[in-house]
Structure 1
Amino acid sequence: MRYQDQLFQQRESALLDAARQLFQDDSWDRVTIAEVARHAGIGKGTVYKHFSSKEALYARLVLDCSRQHLAELQQIARCAPADQAMRRVIRRAFELLQADPLQAQLCLLCDRPAFQERLEPPYREQFIELEGQYISLFGDLLQSSFRDLQLSPDHCQHLIWGVEACVNGVMTRIASGGFAPWAEYIELDAYFDRVTDFIIAGLHGQAAALLAAPATNE
């Protein structure tokens, strides 16, 4: 690798690290590009050689971390027995978010329509591609977990909506600090177990209901 390329990657990593550190101490809308540059020890003008906007910088943080999480979840899905894979993937997804609450906050931020509208098309396209990969993972898990039921792609899509809603709820809970503000403290591991049980039970019930429903002609 050329020295110039190495220097470029080093600067980019420094900017991403600085942005994460600043976001841990302050809200996203209050952190400025100038602060990120100063924290990274890089001139403000140089930042724009790497990221065209603050939105692009934070999008990159989310995309990089989400891809790492996806790779781990895909590995779990490949190695786990078919009847346990869905549970293990969901439970691990919660653990990964718990280990990095900032990622949960950033994911929720980047999912906002107003944020996505400010992103350049290449970043929006990357989010769409990443979402498709997650949907593909859970679609494969559903087909494997309910092999005997022979679920159609439409059935899988309906079930994935329910999984997504539950996972987003857990993400919001982690991003908000867990249950510390509640009068009755709830331990997060126990919460993850109960939500995972709820999702698995719901998938079984909904899969049976979808297959029992009469076909409709459009």
Structure 2
Amino acid sequence: MRYQDQLFQQRQAAILAAARQLFREQPWDRVTIAEVAIQAGIGKGTVYKHFPSKEALYAQLVLDCSHEQLAELRALHAALPAEQAMRQVIRRAFEQMLADPVQAQLCQHCDRPAFQERLEAPYREQFQALEGEYRRFFGELLEGTLGQHGLTAADSQYLLWGVEASVNGVMARIASGGFVHWAEPIALSDYLDRVTDFIIAGLRGQADSLRTSE
């Protein structure tokens, strides 16, 4: 790799690290590009050479983190017996969200259609590719857990809708701060266990329904 390319990558990594640090210290949607530049020790114009907008910066943070999390989930899946993989992967995905609520907020923000429409084309394409990777991974999990049901591609799509709705609900709960404002706060660990049970039961029940309706 050329020195110029190495330098470019190093600067971009410094910008992203600076943004992550600032987002942990103050509301992420109020952090300015100028503040990110100061935190990274570079000029504001240099930040714009890497990210044409604040939306692009948000997008790159979410893309990078999502790829890292997916790689971890794939490794977990590969290390587990097929009958255990779905439950453990779902539970670990929730733990990833819980470990970084700010990231959960950013993921929700970047998933909005209006946000996606404002993004530059290369970022939109990366999000589409990432969605495809998650869909393929979900298909692999389904095959290991419910392969005996003979599910079609359309069946897998229907099941994914339900899982996506549940996962988005958990993400919203974590992003909003959990249950601390409730009169009788609920332990998030118990909540995540029950939601995981709900998803697994729903997948099995719907798979049985799809099979009997044929």
Q: Distance in 2 between matches of 1:48 and 1:57?
A: 9
Matches within 5 A, 1:167-206: 167-206=167-206
Deviations 1:2-59 (A, max 9, x none): 4433332222122111212222344344222122112212111111111111111111
Cα displacement string for residues 150-199 of structure 1 (whole angstroms, at most 9, x for unaligned residues): 11111111001101110111111111111111111111111111000000
Pairs aligned (count) = 214
The residue correspondences of 1:91-110 to structure 2 (distance < 5 A) are 91-110=91-110
The yes-or-no answer on 1:129 pairing with 2:129 is: yes
Aligned CA RMSD, in angstroms, stands at 1.4
Q: Are residues 1:148 and 2:171 paired?
A: no
Q: Report the secondary structure of 1:49's partner residue.
A: helix
CA distance in 1, matches of 2:161, 2:144: 18
Residue identity matched to 1:18 = A
Matched, 1:61 2:61: yes
| Structure-to-structure mapping, 1:158-169, within 5 angstroms | 158-169=158-169
Alpha-carbon distance in 2 for matches of 1:26, 1:119: 24
Q: Percent sequence identity over matched residues?
A: 68
Q: Hey, what's the Cα distance between the residues in 2 that align with 1:182 and 1:65?
A: 30
Whole-Å separation in 2 of the counterparts to 1:202 and 1:29: 36
Q: Which runs of 4+ in 1 moved over 6 A?
A: none
Mapped partners of 2:142, 2:169: distance in 1: 20
Deviation string 1:86-143 (CA, Å, 9 cap, x unpaired) is 0011000011111111111110010011111111111001001101111111111112
Consecutive unaligned residues in structure 1, runs of 5 or more: none
**Aligned mates of 2:123, 2:134 — CA distance in 1:** 17
Q: Deviations over 1:49-81 (max 9, x none)?
A: 111111111111000010000001111112211
**What does 1:35-54 align with in structure 2 at a 5 Å threshold?**
35-54=35-54
